[in-house]
Structure 1
Amino acid sequence: MKLLTAFAVTALSLSFGSAAFAQSNPPGLTHAEVMAQLQQAQAEGLVPSHDNDYPPSQATIARNREIYAIQHRTDGAFEVNTAGMPGDHSAPASN
């Protein structure tokens, strides 16, 4: 009788143990998805960010967007003005 009880307990514990490992985890991101998310974050100005400026301030985000636009020639990058000067560059510079 003890042998039958031990066998039943063992069989039940094995079935419950295997059910615990049968849980499915959602699949991870692919390399392409991670790279796309990184590029989107860079375009939005969220990276790079200094450790002292986390989460990045609005000024840092604006600066990072300008740098990204210049590097990737997007969003009117030729008209980006980082010196605070007027956008019209047709006038000659005076000395």
Structure 2
Amino acid sequence: MIFLSFIVFICMIVLLLPFILAAFIGRLLGLYKSSDDRVLAGVCAGVADRFDVSPGLVRLIWLIAVLFFSVGFWWYVAFAIVLPTERHDSHYDDF
């Protein structure tokens, strides 16, 4: 019984870890999803806009991460769920 609860605990940590890290990294780096340039959820375009690089380059890096490391998909899902759609300070640009 203790072993089963330990396995369940480990599985929950493994499933929740990308979401926790995505929230921390997104908040730390000021990441957001793009509402204008979306292919799936706008994560790659938002990251590209934040670091002022081409969205195609970020999408290519993400594709390589998915194909060769198989963690890119879960990171994309985590960022798509956790990140806000636009920068929080974008509404202050009008003042």
RCO greater where, 1 or 2, for CA within 8 Å and sep 6 or more?
2
TM-score by length of 1: 0.23
Q: Which has the higher helix share?
A: 2
TM-score by length of 2: 0.23
- Bigger CA radius of gyration: 1
